[in-house]
Chain A
Amino acid sequence: AQSVTQLGSHVSVSEGALVLLRCNYSSSVPPYLFWYVQYPNQGLQLLLKYTSAATLVKGINGFEAEFKKSETSFHLTKPSAHMSDAAEYFCAVSGLTKTSYDKVIFGPGTSLSVIP
């Protein structure tokens, strides 16, 4: 079975500061990992994904994440927070059978606040 944990349900950073959102996963097969962002009353937008290629993945809006197998982690970072980054962030895992039938399992989410 696969699962995702996100340490910290709420993170606050100052504008311009480093953003670090933590994600750890559990998977019995090589995982595919994703970070999604959700703004209020909207669907999810993919920030980036890891699919067994480069372990350092660059995404949209200046975000990046590093896959560390030894730590079973896929933390999301951004060097400098912007006010528009305030949103809910979800880490997700899939990859049970590497077909399109894979479930995407979401972590509990981290709410990011950016302080002016």
Chain B
Amino acid sequence: GAVVSQHPSRVICKSGTSVKIECRSLDFQATTMFWYRQFPKQSLMLMATSNEGSKATYEQGVEKDKFLINHASLTLSTLTVTSAHPEDSSFYICSARGQGRGTEAFFGQGTRLTVV
């Protein structure tokens, strides 16, 4: 299957700082990327959908000014957690889909964010 690389895999930051997470499709063009958040022992909660060159579409209840998503190219999307607080600590996972590749979404390995 196609490869989606997510970086970093683990990050610890101080409260009030911002953290950027990258999601790259390595061998295909990702027309659409999805960002999920996962709390321990829970399912994946879709945060937003980003289409290359367009503004991201956020799910209800997700603060767009808090979680900045940029999908500037067909192989890269970034999620920036701004002014992070301890309650933002979570596992963040991206996935990518490309047109012409059926409906399968390929997932990154996730980023464990800890805000202290």
Report which A residues bind B (CB closer than 8 A): 32, 34, 36, 41-46, 49, 51, 90, 94-95, 98-109, 111
Contacts and interface: CB of A to CB of B under 8 A. Distances in A.
A43 B23 CA distance: 12
B78 interface: no
A74 to B, nearest CB: 14
A44 B107 contact: yes
A100 B43 contact: no
Given A108-B42, A109-B43, A102 B103 contact: yes
B24 interface: no
A100 B31 contact: yes
Interface string B34-51: 101000011110100101
B43 A51 contact: no
User: Nearest 5 pairs between A and B by C-beta?
Assistant: A43-B109, A43-B107, A44-B107, A100-B99, A100-B31
Decide if the interface of chain A is mainly helix, strand, loop or mixed. loop
Interface residues of B, number: 31
A31 B81 CA distance: 33
A7 B15 CA distance: 38
Nearest to A94: B103
Nearest to B95: A104
Contact of B97 (A36, A100, A107): A100
23 contacts: A34-B104, A42-B109, A43-B4, A43-B109, A45-B107, A46-B1, A49-B103, A49-B104, A51-B103, A94-B103, A94-B105, A95-B103, A99-B99, A100-B97, A100-B101, A101-B51, A102-B97, A103-B34, A104-B95, A106-B36, A106-B43, A108-B43, A109-B42
